[in-house]
A = this chain, B = another copy of it.
Amino acid sequence: MPQNHPDTPGTDDTTPALTRDALAQAALRVLQRDGLAGLSMRKVAAEVGVKAASLYWHVRNKQELLDLLTDALLGSAEPPPRTGGWREQFHAYCWRYRRLLLDTRDAAKVVAGRLAPGPHLLGLMEDQLDRLRAAGFSDADAAMASYLLGAFVQGFVLQEQSPISAAEVLGTSRRDIADAAGDLFRALPAETFPNLVALADDLTAPDMDARFEFGLQRVLDGLAALLPPEHR
Contacts and interface: CB of A to CB of B under 8 A. Distances in A.
Interface of A: 63, 112-115, 117, 122, 125-126, 129-130, 133, 139-140, 142-148, 150-152, 154-156, 158-159, 162-163, 165-166, 169, 181, 184, 188, 192-196, 198-199, 202-203, 205, 211, 214-215, 217-223, 225-226
- When all copies of this chain in the complex are counted, the total is 2
A87 to B, nearest CB: 12
B155 A214 contact: no
A94 to B, nearest CB: 13
Closest 7 A/B residue pairs (Cβ): A155-B155, A218-B222, A143-B202, A221-B222, A129-B195, A222-B222, A148-B215
A131 B226 CA distance: 27
Contact of A156 (B139, B155, B193): B155
28 contacts: A112-B159, A114-B162, A115-B159, A117-B181, A122-B196, A125-B196, A126-B194, A126-B196, A133-B195, A142-B195, A143-B202, A143-B203, A144-B214, A147-B203, A147-B211, A148-B214, A151-B152, A151-B156, A151-B159, A151-B215, A152-B152, A152-B155, A152-B215, A154-B158, A155-B158, A218-B222, A221-B222, A222-B222
